[in-house]
Amino acid sequence: MRNATVTYYAEAAFGALADPTRRAVLDLLRRGSLPAGRIAQAFPVSRPAISRHLRLLRRAQLVRERREGRRRLYQLNPEPLRAVDSWLDHYRVFWQMNLTDLKNFVEAEYAVEKSRRPRAKSKTKTPRDKQQRKGE
């Protein structure tokens, strides 16, 4: 049986991360907490649109909201990203193995090609070559 919390994090986080604007909001929040108004100023969309993005990020628990008077401050919550990172880790192993295999293949092919090439004649003149020219 799967852990419900981890499953929820991963599924909700993937849904939230699917949108480039929400990913950009998370990038902004990596630097620290920001008020909603400052977040909205960073994007060419309306404040209500940013509010919807922030609501979805809150539901996915990717951001935390706290109130200071009338202001709402948002900060990044990295915990759900660990579930995403864990899922991606399997693909990192897959790609690393495949890239290593590709590197080995290319290097082997290069070595075979290099051994098939005819050696170029040296263009430097030896003292013997110089003597032959004088005698001609």
Residue-wise pLDDT for 38-55, tens only, equals 999 999 999 999 999 999
The distance from CA 13 to its chain's CA centroid, rounded to whole angstroms, is 17
Instruction: Dump pLDDT digits (tens) for 105-128.
Output: 899 888 888 888 776 665 666 666
Between 70 and 25, the more confident residue is 25
**Domain range summary for the chain, segments of one domain joined by +:** 1-114
Q: In the prediction, which pLDDT does 1 show?
A: 44
pLDDT above 70: residue 79: yes
- Rounded to two decimals, what is the model's pTM? 0.63
Using alpha carbons, select from 20, 80, 94 the residue that is nearest to residue 53. 20
Q: In the prediction, which pLDDT does 27 show?
A: 95
List C-alpha distances in Å: 94 to 7, 14, 84, 97. 22, 20, 16, 5
Query: Is the CATH number 1.10.150.310 carried by domain 1-114?
Result: no
List C-alpha distances in Å: 17 to 26, 50, 79. 9, 14, 14
Cα gap 98→10, rounded to integer Å: 26
CB 35 within 8 A of CB 6: no
